[in-house]
């Protein structure tokens, strides 16, 4: 049966941030929680019931905490398929089945960035946690895996549904889990191989600047000239964007100067290409293209008509690869892994800025309708699509979307109203009728001016974070003009 309800959970996390609400949700729906070490102590501090892993295994945590969960009675409960043979073995050996595994790994990457102390770095190589993630992901047919605290929002949504999951959900979480473990192992490999090797690039952002790349792109080079500094920046932006759309139907995006200028989701890849290109065929010239599906020959024949710098995809059909490789300088890249970095950094002044990556992805349940008129389910789908677009546009940013197609965008403007005008003007210039489209802003509206421009363009619904002192005025103007508006509660600046 595809749908399964979580009845037991094993929780082993390094960072306890955000854990308390999850524990309480699990407790509220009667899930038996197993844990050990610091996580067990944390749960006990909440005065909630937790079963010590040691009572299952019969062994205490040993070797200074290096061995806690590595035991057949733990991994048997995770890896057992829910068939008669495996369940009878669990019963015989008194092993409880585990339906949910929640892990947050030792911060190896963060430790590496903050110290040169080899012993400290080595101790932050997680063994049990990675093993738990891989075991749970392997058995996704029956087990839910949450591989990092960044996935707590996914788990909260599941628990709000009484802990019931579909096979599709469990498989998506398993894929994310293997991405996390793969990235973690890559960072460890880089450390043991003498740190990351510098790869010289042709030049930097401009020809007079020297440049090099350190690290792993997570991509397989299939054809074309070497990637330039600017190519790598665009490829990074493309991968970050498509990481949010990879589980959608056929999706193709076009980027220029790190901004998405065309994107569409369709039932066929060829139609996704045509509709992504229609968003801005002028900017697409010399751009970076990315797909969430294997490039087939039919789509390749159409893509081949455009001059572009880079094409990225999970794979290429043999005939498509042969066709696209006919042009010597064209760069073709195959995706080996999706981005899983938890942090991003940039050098500033005499130091470095570091922040958590924006891995938020809005869902319908987060939206708050504040207008008298409610958006339709169709509009909600487009609003979420549009919000994902503005997340990946340089601020100030506005996106116009209709039927999961970006039809106009304004970005990098010093005023929001200019970004709004730009998005509408671009949509009209590209031949789109803006009537019935939806609008997204990555930050709040300080004034009703963008709402008025949207109404003039016959936009039907708007999504924005909210949070301005002028929210009541903006909402009142929305109602006067007969639009619908939802607030996401999440600002997504990009500088």
What's the rounded Cα separation, in Å, for the pair 389 and 393?
A: 7
**Can you point out the beta strands (E) in 149-231?**
164-165, 198-200, 212-214, 219-223
**DSSP assignments along 444-459, one per residue:** --SSTHHHHHHHHTT-
Q: Which segments of 271-350 are extended strands (E)?
A: 287-291, 308-313, 331-335, 343-348
DSSP 382-410: HHHHHHHHHHTSPSS-EEEESSSBEEEEE
Residue found under tokens 């049966």: 1
The dihedrals phi and psi of 41, each to the nearest 5 degrees, come to: -60, -40
Q: Which two tokens stand for residue 328?
A: 């010597």
CA distance 385 to 260: 13
Calpha distance 357→275 (Å, rounded): 29
Q: Where are any strands of DSSP class E within 96-197?
A: 100-104, 144-146, 164-165
- Strand extents, DSSP E, 112-192: 144-146, 164-165
361, 387 contact by CB (below 8 A): no
DSSP per-residue letters across 334-397: EESS----SEEEEEETTEEEEEE-------GGG-EE-SSBPPPHHHHHHHHHHHHHHHTSPSS-
Give the span between the Cα atoms of 154 and 148, in whole angstroms. 11
Cis peptide before 396 (omega within 30 of 0): yes
Q: Count CB atoms within 10 A of the CB of residue 303.
A: 22
Between vectors from CA 68 to CA 65 and to CA 73, what angle results, nearest 5°? Answer: 170
- Nearest Cα neighbor of 260 from 141, 82, 426 is 426
Strands of the 287-291 sheet, one edge to the other: 219-223, 331-335, 308-313, 287-291, 250-256, 259-266
- The residues that are catalytic are 138, 257
CB contact at 8 A, 279 and 257: no
Contact, 210 vs 204, CB < 8 A? yes
Structure-block tokens of residue 308: 């572009």
Token digits for 275? 């509709």
């Amino acid at each position: 049966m595809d749908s399964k309800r979580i009845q037991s959970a094993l929780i082993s996390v390094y960072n306890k941030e955000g854990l308390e609400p999850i524990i309480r949700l699990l407790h509220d729906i009667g899930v038996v929680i197993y844990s050990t070490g610091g996580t067990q102590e944390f749960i006990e501090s909440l005065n909630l019931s937790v079963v010590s892993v040691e009572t299952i295994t019969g062994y205490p945590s040993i070797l200074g905490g290096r061995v806690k969960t590595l035991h057949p009675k733990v991994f048997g409960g995770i890896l057992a398929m829910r068939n008669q043979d495996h369940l009878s073995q669990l019963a015989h050996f008194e092993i409880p089945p585990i339906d949910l595994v929640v892990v947050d790994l030792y911060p190896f990457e963060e430790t590496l960035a903050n110290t040169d102390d080899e012993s400290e770095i080595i101790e932050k190589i997680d063994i049990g946690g990675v093993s738990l993630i891989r075991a749970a992901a392997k058995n996704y047919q029956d087990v839910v895996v949450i591989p990092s605290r960044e996935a707590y929002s996914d788990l909260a949504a599941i628990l709000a549904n009484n802990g019931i999951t579909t096979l599709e959900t469990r498989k998506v979480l398993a894929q994310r889990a293997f991405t996390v473990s793969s990235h973690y192992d890559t960072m460890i490999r880089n450390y043991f191989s003498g740190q990351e090797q510098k790869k010289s690039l042709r030049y930097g952002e401009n020809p007079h600047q020297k440049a090099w790349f350190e690290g792993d792109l997570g991509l397989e080079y299939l054809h074309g000239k070497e990637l330039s500094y600017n190519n790598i920046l665009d490829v990074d932006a493309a991968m970050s964007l498509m990481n949010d759309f990879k589980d959608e139907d056929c999706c193709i995006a076009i980027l220029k100067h790190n901004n998405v200028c065309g994107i569409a989701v369709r039932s066929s890849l060829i139609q996704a290409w045509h509709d992504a290109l229609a968003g801005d065929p002028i900017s697409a010239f010399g751009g970076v293209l990315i797909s969430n599906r294997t490039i087939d020959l039919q789509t390749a024949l159409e893509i081949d008509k455009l001059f572009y710098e880079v094409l990225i995809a999970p794979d290429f059909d043999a005939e498509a690869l042969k066709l696209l490789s006919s042009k010597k300088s064209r760069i073709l890249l195959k995706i080996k892994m999706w981005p899983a970095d938890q942090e991003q950094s940039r050098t500033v002044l005499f130091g470095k800025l570091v922040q958590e990556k924006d891995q938020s992805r809005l869902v319908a349940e987060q939206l708050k309708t504040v207008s008298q008129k409610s958006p339709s389910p169709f509009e909600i789908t487009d609003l979420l699509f549009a919000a994902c677009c503005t997340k990946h546009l340089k601020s100030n940013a506005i996106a116009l979307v209709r039927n999961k197609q970006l039809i106009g965008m304004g970005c990098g403007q010093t005023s929001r109203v200019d970004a709004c005008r730009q998005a509408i003007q671009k949509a009209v210039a590209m031949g789109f009728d803006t009537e019935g489209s939806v609008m997204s802003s990555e930050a709040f509206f300080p004034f009703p001016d963008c709402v008025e421009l949207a109404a003039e363009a016959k936009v039907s619904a708007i999504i924005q974070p909210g949070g301005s002192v002028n929210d009541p005025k903006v909402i009142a103007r929305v109602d006067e003009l007969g639009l619908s508006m939802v607030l996401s509660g999440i600002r997504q600046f990009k500088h």
